[in-house]
Amino acid sequence: MIRSPEAESYFAGAAPGPRVAPLAVKLLHAALFLAVLASPLVFMEPSPYEAAVALLALACVVAGVKLDRKVLPLVLLLTLINVSGAMTLLPIVDNGKALTYAAISFYLAITAVVYACLFAEDSLRRLEIMRRAYLIAAFLASLIGIAGYFGFIAEAELYGRARATFKDPNVFGPFLVLPLLFLIQSILSRGTRLRYLVMFGVIGFGLLLSFSRGAWMHFIVSAVIMLALMFLTAPDVRTRMRLLLLSMVSVLALAGLFTVAISFSSVGEMFKTRAKLTQSYDVGTAGRFGLQEMAVGAALDAPNGLGPHEFGRLYGGQQHNVYLQALLVNGWAGGFAYAALVILTLLIGLRFSFINTPWQPYLISAFATFCGEVFEGFVIDSDHWRHFFLLLGIIWGIVAATANRISADRPPVF
């Protein structure tokens, strides 16, 4: 990403937050890089990523990272969700699988708060570290997924779909959306540098080979929102016209790459199968939509919730809707708190996306990705997606940093 002169000045100057030992700061940034780099390693629960974030949290304590007051709404809503979820465990307290689920939910909520606190201070530097690590992680995961799809790594594919180091292709695909948006921003601002094109080609191919319809729509929705925000927040008409022209060229280039990709017989056949609006497991009483109808009734009949995995046990399958999942697992209080968290994040993310700051591009890309994730949540359970909590942390951390910057710029009142 290109830094504006204002951003360069901010980056070179004193960063917000307390002064700490340079070694502690270096260790913190190394831990941040490692945590994001490990984010694709979620082939089991608990995953190696959890250990990496634990190290990051410890580094935050050592480096004196503070809890910004502006992050408290995030903390309170996540706490309410998890406390409500803990209450649903009382009737099934002997269910080890349910306890593990609840513990991971609580831990992932902590990761969102850790990231928010991190990005609220020294924001630009830490966001650049995150971006660099995420791009590398997505590139490597995509290579593994591609190798798995073509039969070189058996464990990296599932039912003829690339899943890389994830348990499910439907999680692998959405994980790749944010780095793809980062690369689109870089291409539109810096031009078609070879390394951007190579990374975009590999990661985009990984997204295609996940054959996740939700992830494909997620990417399209997020990319359109990001481009619209970039256009609306551009400083002048000339920049807007340049963005519009480059966007059109990029769409044509993507169409060409897509045509080449589906020319492979195996890819083309799978795409024809997966591109249908509905699959066999979507329809019927026991299909996705039938289970969602039953989940609505079950949620209305159980204001205190059923607890983790209980709907699947009682009805023979998951409802694949994160908002119904929040109600069923956490009860009405936790479910409505989850909805409030999503809506509030959308509102503040949109509002602050229009404020000119050095980290505005990061907020725009994270907010656009979050919008796509919210949309995809209607057809999938995304409550344990690690990158969802990273997105929460990015958005709330940047919002806090922006609000602090605005407060600091206000003239004193005598």
Per-residue pLDDT, averaged over 66-78, amounts to 95
The 10 Å Cβ neighbour count of residue 198 is: 12
Query: Over the stretch 9-63, which tens digit does the pLDDT of each residue have?
Result: 444 333 444 566 789 999 999 999 999 999 999 888 778 999 999 999 999 999 9
Residue 157 — φ and ψ, nearest 5°? -135, 160
In a domain, 286, yes or no: yes
Comparing C-alpha atoms, which of 336, 306, 304, 338 is closest to residue 319? 306
Distance CA 209, CA 212 (A): 8
The 10 Å Cβ neighbour count of residue 281 is: 13
Ramachandran assignment for 193, one of left (phi > 0), alpha (psi -120 to 50 degrees), beta (any other):
beta
| Tokens coding 216 | 């494909």
Distance CA 60, CA 29 (A): 9
Which range, 82-91, 204-213, 233-242, 362-371, is most confident? 362-371
* Residue 344: Cβ-neighbour burial (10 angstroms; 0-12, 13-18, 19+): middle
In a domain, 13, yes or no: no
Q: Is pLDDT of 2 > 70?
A: no
In a domain, 11, yes or no: no
Query: Over the stretch 343-390, which tens digit does the pLDDT of each residue have?
Result: 999 999 999 999 999 999 999 999 999 999 999 999 898 989 999 999
The 10 Å Cβ neighbour count of residue 330 is: 30
Q: How many domains does the chain have?
A: 1
Residue of higher predicted confidence among 266 and 392: 392
* pLDDT at residue 267 in the model: 73
Per-residue pLDDT, averaged over 243-266, amounts to 78
Q: Is pLDDT of 393 > 90?
A: yes
Q: Is pLDDT of 278 > 70?
A: no
* pLDDT at residue 288 in the model: 66
Comparing C-alpha atoms, which of 73, 62, 76 is closest to residue 32? 62
CA 397 to centroid of chain Cα atoms? 14
In a domain, 1, yes or no: no
| Tokens coding 297 | 């009734």
Query: Over the stretch 170-199, which tens digit does the pLDDT of each residue have?
Result: 999 999 999 999 999 998 887 778 899 999
Confidence of residue 285 (pLDDT cuts 50, 70, 90): low
* Residue 43: Cβ-neighbour burial (10 angstroms; 0-12, 13-18, 19+): middle
Polymer length in residues for the chain: 414
Residue of higher predicted confidence among 116 and 274: 116
Q: Is pLDDT of 310 > 90?
A: no
Confidence of residue 3 (pLDDT cuts 50, 70, 90): very low
Q: Given CA atoms 271, 150, 250, 136 in this order, what sign does their dihedral have?
A: positive
Residue of higher predicted confidence among 170 and 289: 170
Query: pLDDT averaged over the chain?
Result: 87
The continuous run of DSSP H or E covering 161 comes out as strand 161-162
Beta-ladder partners of 80: none
Distance CA 303, CA 328 (A): 8
* pLDDT at residue 400 in the model: 96
Confidence of residue 249 (pLDDT cuts 50, 70, 90): confident
In a domain, 378, yes or no: yes
The 10 Å Cβ neighbour count of residue 161 is: 20
Place of tokens 């570290």: 129
In a domain, 119, yes or no: yes
Distance CA 149, CA 205 (A): 11
* pLDDT at residue 20 in the model: 66
Residue of higher predicted confidence among 87 and 160: 87
Per-residue pLDDT, averaged over 277-301, amounts to 72
In a domain, 9, yes or no: no
Q: Is pLDDT of 271 > 80?
A: no
Residue 142's domain comprises 18-409
Distance CA 28, CA 11 (A): 17
Contacting residues for 249 by C-beta, under 8 A, at least 6 apart? none
Place of tokens 């907020």: 363
The strand pair at 157-158 and 161-162 is best described as: antiparallel
In a domain, 7, yes or no: no
